[in-house]
Each structure stands twice: as C-alpha cells, then as structure tokens.
Amino acid sequence: MKKLARNGFMSALATTLLASATMVQAETLRLLTWGGYAPQDVIEAFTKETGIEVKVTKSNNEDMISKLRATGGAGFDLAQPSQDRIASAQADFDIYKPIDLNRIDGNQIIASMLDATKKSTTYDGNVYGVPHVWGTSGLIVNRKQASMVGDYTDLCDASIAGKVSYRLKRPTLIGFAFAMGEDPFAAYGDKNQYQKILDKVEKQLVSCKANVKAYWSGGDALMNLVRSNEVVAAMAWDAGGWKLNNENPDVTFVAPKSGALGWIDTFAIPRKSKAEDAAYQWINFVMRPDMAAKITESAGNFTAAQDGDQFVTAKLKSQFQESFPKADIDNIKWYPPVPPGLEEMEGKTLDRIKAAQ
C-alpha cells in the first residue's frame, strides 16, 4: 500500500514537473512597436520555430517613453523607439539596458545602418539600440519634365519655376544645407555655427520661393499635385515616390547627390525585460531576409536587413534598387538626436522664409 501511494505521489510529481516545464517553454515576448512592424504571418512563423508567443502593443515614440518611464522600464521585453529618441531618454529616465552586440547576428544587418545606429544610441559608453525599419526623405521627380533635378538645390532651377513643392519644415532646412556643402549635423554642438548655416539656407529658400507651387503639409495633397503635373519635382519621402511610380513610370523617388535624410526605428531592450533571450531571438529572426521582406510589405518601409529587398515583389525590388544603389544607401544622412534649442532656431528661420515676399 505504501509502495502504491509512493508510486502515485511520484507520478503526480512528474506530471507537475512536466506541466511546469511546458509553462516555461511557452514564453511570451511583450513587444512595444509601431503598426505594421510585427505582421501576423511573421509572428506565427516565429512562434512555430521557437515556441515563444508574441504579444504586440502598438505605440509611437512619445507613448513608448511615457509607458517605460512610468514603470522604470518594466511591462515590456522589447521596444522600437526611433534612433534619435534613445540616448536622451536613457539619460533622463534610465529605461533601457545596454544591447549585447555579441547576441546580435550583425552579418544580417546593413553595415552602414548598424554603425549609424550604434553611434546615435550610445550613452555613457554603452550601445542601446540596433536598427530595424528605416525610411528617407529625398526627391520625387518627373524624369521627363525635370530630368535636371538630382539634388535639393536643383528644385530652384529656373526651368521648373512654379512646379516645385516641399514642406516648410526642418528636413527642408537640413537637406538644403547638405546640398549647399554644409554639414548641419556636425554643427549641432555649436549654436553659432548652426545659425550661420540656417542663415545661408534661409537666403537660398527665400530666393527660391518663385519656384514653389505650394508648400505641402499633407502627403495626399502633394501626391495629387504630382499626379496632375502641377508639380514635377518635390522634396518628399521614398515610399510616396514608389507609389507614384506605380501609376506613372516617369515619376519616381531619387536619392539626392548630397544624401537622402534618413530615420531608423530600432530595437531597444527595456531595463526590466523579463524575456531578454526571447527579445534577441526575435531580433535575429525578423532580420532574416525573407522575414524582413514580409515586414516591408506590411509596414511600407524597408528594414536594415542585408538583402531584404531580394524577397519583396519584383516591382518594389526594382524601384528600391533603382533609387538606392549601395553608394546611395551608404550616403544617407541619418538624423542624430536634436540638442535643446535647435528646433526653436529652426522655427524662427522657417517663419522668416514663410513671411518673405
């Protein structure tokens, strides 16, 4: 009887241990990300391969910082802030933990993007982000009617007077500065030098006002101006150019000679992540070229995955490769964190340009 009881106890204990092991295997990755960055088919493939469930919370930069600040970096295992929003948030709120680059398959990532992200997300000697989804602003050009446009300053060419559009926003100031031979990002730490650059760009943009059909603020309005041929060259975003190219092969996105302006949404690990291993597994999984292509189709933007363009649709692959040969990818000017006070200086410059007759 005692033997039977003991056998029963051991059987129950084994069942309990097995159940516990199953619960450990059924890990959950809590992902704080943007819409489209974790499509369902990618989640299902990841779970099938690893056994790890993925719980997605959609967010944006401000919301990510707010959520992680409120909990001291708890509540999520992996977040996706933009690369220029990490170092300052870490300095102010201590919400992330350093990235262990030894656990990242760097061979899967475009080297120039990895280097740029490491540089912009370094705080106190530690790297806090690696690149994921990226995009740029550059030029949308009707190649039949504005073939001379290859850089931002070409928007001021007299041959396309009245048929140009760009925004009165900081990217226009920065893009024109690069095209005029300046490096505004290098001047971020010197307000006097930065103001000299702004003054130089202001003079150029005031003299260029006659070329401007409209200063666009909404993407749909700009695209309609291009569709109607009222605008033949504009400073705008890459995916918009490719969308227009689907409708009119004469129109496409062109990376400017001085460099497209780029943003990167990253992977960053919250300080109190409870599934750090799962976070690294997810990063390496979605940076595979085939998975990266699924995210591109979902989000509308490419990822920093090496050869990620090889698995997208033939049309998008062709558009991407035409707009971004390797030299143009390596020439992208990635936005660094903005020091305090610079946006106020830029705002005053933009107001003067707008008011100028």
CB-side exposure of 317: number of CA atoms within 13 Å?
12
> How far apart are alpha carbons 307 and 49 in whole angstroms?
22
Domain boundaries, the chain: 26-128+263-329, 136-260+337-355
Is 26-128+263-329 a domain of CATH 2.60.40.1080?
Answer: no
Q: Cα separations (Å) of 297 from 41, 300, 301?
A: 11, 6, 8
* Class of the CATH domain delimited by 136-260+337-355: alpha beta
User: How would you write the pLDDT of the chain (357 residues) with one tens digit per residue?
Assistant: 444 444 554 444 444 444 444 444 459 999 999 999 999 999 999 999 999 999 999 999 999 999 999 999 999 999 999 999 999 999 999 999 999 999 999 999 999 999 999 999 999 999 999 999 999 999 999 999 999 999 999 999 999 999 999 999 999 999 999 999 999 999 999 999 999 999 999 999 999 999 999 999 888 999 999 999 999 999 999 999 999 999 999 999 999 999 999 999 999 999 999 999 999 999 999 999 999 999 999 998 999 999 999 999 999 999 999 999 999 999 999 999 889 899 999 999 999 999 998
E strand spans, 239-295 = 251-254, 261-267, 269-270
Residue environment code for 309-333, b if the CB has 16+ CB neighbours within 10 A, otherwise e: bebbeeebbebbeebbeeebbebbb
Residue 97: name the closest of 263, 264, 276 by CA: 276
> How far apart are alpha carbons 277 and 50 in whole angstroms?
11
Place of tokens 């979902």: 298
Size of the chain, expressed as the number of residues it contains: 357
Please determine whether the domains at 26-128+263-329 and 136-260+337-355 fall in the same fold group of CATH. Answer: yes
